[in-house]
Amino acid sequence: MSQHYSVNEKVAIVTGGGKGLGKSLTLRLLQEGMKVAICGRTAATINETVAEFEAQFGKRIYGQVCDISDASAVSHFIQEVHSQFGDIQVLVNNSGFGKETLICETSESDWDDVMDTNVKGTFLMCKNVVPNMIKQKEGYVVNIASQAALNGYANAGVYCASKFAMVGLGKALQEEVREYGIHVHSLNPALIQSQKTPKDDIDSGLIQNDDLADMLVYLLQQPRRLKIDNIGMWGF
């Protein structure tokens, strides 16, 4: 029997799935036959993306406004996804952002904002989704980290700190859930041309959203006996 995992009809959550990279990851998971739920803080973005993909795929996409740094909002979102789609098999922690400031000039509120979304938000999503994966003895958590999770960059101190933390959280989680057959991956891309319009040329020095989407599906389809971690991606 093939050990390859079939994602068709499985349920995925993509945080920040309304725009940018998250929208492209959502599109690819829908193309693979998955049921996908997305969240973000901006209602218009979520509603537009849900309407666009529902028209394109002729099936229900679940979207909800949810600030992933808010514990009660995350709990409510996950309960709703369960009641709409059932058990969740794939969690893509994509929501995130940084601040371009020198460490000594970073305000306390900017520090808190970035850490609250990138680290606490990832933690809250895992805390609410993984227990049911443990019951299913099946699941994938894919954290969209960054090369800033492995390297230091000037003017990106809080972003680097948050992405290093995201990778650390994922590594610890992998150790805790390995016995239940749950895989935790970290995708660490360098710069992505993520807001490209259809008319923009591909910048060969930058990764494209589709490259990340391809890698996500590749990871989900590998034999479950394989452990794959810390995928680095760069423009070539």
Residues that bind ligand NAP (CB under 6 A): 15-16, 18-22, 39-42, 45, 67-69, 94-97, 117, 121, 144, 146, 189, 191-192, 194
**Amino acid, res. 140:** Y
Q: Name the minimum Å distance from CB 120 to ligand NAP.
A: 9
Q: Name the minimum Å distance from CB 25 to ligand NAP.
A: 9
Which residues lie closer than 8 Å to 177 by C-beta, 6 or more apart?
A: 130, 133, 134, 139, 184
- Nearer Cβ to ligand NAP (191/202): 191
DSSP string across 15-71: ETTTSHHHHHHHHHHHHTT-EEEEEES-HHHHHHHHHHHHHHHSS--EEEE--TT-H
Specify which residues 15 forms β-bridges with: 39
- Nearer Cβ to ligand NAP (41/171): 41
Q: Name the minimum Å distance from CB 223 to ligand NAP.
A: 27
Task: Kindly list the catalytic residues.
Answer: 159
Q: Name the minimum Å distance from CB 188 to ligand NAP.
A: 8
Residue (of 167, 163, 166, 169) closest to 148 by Cα position: 163
**Amino acid, res. 170:** G
Q: What is the dihedral of CA 174, 176, 181, 187, to 10 degrees?
A: -10
- Nearer Cβ to ligand NAP (95/128): 95
User: Residue 14 and residue 142: Cα distance in Å, rounded?
Assistant: 10
- Nearer Cβ to ligand NAP (38/220): 38
